[in-house]
Amino acid sequence: MPDERTSVTTPDAAPSPLLTAHAQLASAVEILGYDDGLHRMLATPRREMNVAIPLRRDDGSIELFSGYRVQHNISRGPGKGGLRYSSSVDVDEVRALAMWMTWKCAVVDVPYGGAKGGVTIDPTRYSTAELERVTRRYTSEISPIIGPERDIMAPDIGTNEQTMAWVMDTYSVNRGYTIAAVTTGKPLAVGGSLGRATATSQGVVHAAAAALADAGVRLDEVSAAVQGFGKVGSHAARLLHEAGTKVVAVSDEHGGVHAPDGLDVVALLAHVADGGTVGEFEGGQAISNTELLALDVDVLVPAAVEGVLDADSAARVKARWVVEGANGPTTTEGDRVLAERGVVVVPDILANAGGVIVSYFEWVQANQAYWWTEQEIAERLEQRMAASYGAVSSLSRRESLSLRDAALVIGVRRVAEAHQIRGLYP
């Protein structure tokens, strides 16, 4: 078994994302019958870099931040994964996210390995100019291990398309020419792709539709609640609403709003765009994030942060389907409780893979300097999500596995096969 000393617990005794990621891998390894040596290789990051990031603030004072880039696996291609800015970021969180990216890329069969980056900073407390300086210094520090053939970054919590433009520019200036393919999720004006901004959310909706179809149900026949109203949750709520789903509750980090007859999602989006919080929206009753998870809905979409569905909160879930928009929203114990209660969980490494699929499309377009239409991207995304869900669902039924175990088995097996075919050097 891998060394569990890096698998820590958070102060409130909830499992860390890394502990959850290791437990999920162990489950897949047991099903696949792999030996201890291969298990250790699959569990251990290939490369890590920890960097110090000094910032000269606008008032002239100096602050120092910690930054990380973890390349979990590169056997199937260059590393791929987001860059997260959050005051809670630590190296274990980044390790877990990088591992999940490895399996995610393999499940949807894009030629990437898994990577992830993070800076321990609360971006809401700093000016745009300060965030630019942090981003450029971080990029400079990790530049020896990134690149379009080595490791490609994308936005995550606390970062956006402007952040990716700064990363791309910093990397390009230091190489002496423009290298658009070093990041994805960039603005269109500097090599971004149509459809990228909503790709993760669109993938969540495709996954939800496929899971419902397995039970003979359509999106316009169900109700849903969405936890998280950021880049993923807000677009997922809109797209579900447009598909005819009755979206009865959404929330952000400050709280949520609930309307049993359905929210006016368009008005809510306009309210948030004007600077309001979800909980302040007048089109429903205020609700907490915890209460949202326990609502009597058909579909629950946790699209915020890791670990929100633990044993306690999972026991209160009334939804028939949980479609994971966030990375790692369900702990190992939460998974067990949901399975015992007959809740179908569409796992993150499948449900939210739309982002990495269209990131792959953006990388391909940047490398060939030829851009696809939005319709072409949407069609290819839907085809890739449908094929990936079909393979996972088929294995789940054939081997009597949960959708998570089936997805992990497919992803882990593909990565292990790449390891074994390439062999060991020297």
Element (H, E) at 340: helix 332-340
Rounded to whole angstroms, the Cα distance separating 398 from 393 reads 9
The pLDDT, as a whole number, for residue 16 is 86
Ranges of CATH 3.40.50.10860 domains, the chain: 45-182
User: Could you tell me how far CA 144 lies from the centroid of its own chain?
Assistant: 25
Quick one: pLDDT band at residue 126, thresholds 50, 70, 90? very high
CA distances from 358 to 187, 229, 299, 399 (A): 14, 21, 25, 30
**Across residues 296-302, what is the average pLDDT?**
97
Q: Which H helix or E strand runs over 354?
A: helix 354-368
* Among the four given CATH numbers 3.40.50.300, 3.40.1050.10, 3.40.50.10860, 2.60.40.1220, the one describing domain 45-182: 3.40.50.10860
What integer is the mean pLDDT of 3-21? 57
Average pLDDT score over the chain: 94
Q: Is 124 exposed, middle or buried (0-12, 13-18, 19+ CB in 10 A)?
A: exposed
Residue 389 burial (CB count, 10 A): 27
Mean pLDDT score, 1-13: 38
pLDDT, average across residues 115-127: 98
Q: Looking at the predicted structure, is the pLDDT value of residue 204 above 70?
A: yes
pLDDT digits (tens, 9 = 90+) for 271-298: 999 988 999 999 899 999 999 999 999 9
Residues annotated as catalytic (active site), given as ranges: 116
What's residue 135's pLDDT? Answer: 98
Cα 375 → chain centroid: 24
How far is it, in rounded angstroms, from Cα 203 to Cα 143?
A: 31
| All CATH 3.40.50.720 domain ranges in the chain, comma separated | 199-351
Contact 322, 247 (CB under 8 A): no
Indicate if the pLDDT at residue 4 is higher than 50: no
- CATH 1.10.10.10 matches 199-351: no
| 8 A C-beta contact, residue 271 and residue 257 | no
Q: Cis (ω within 30 of 0) for the bond into 155?
A: no
Q: What is the DSSP annotation of 88-123?
A: T--HHHHHHHHHHHHHHHHHTT-S-EEEEEEEE--G
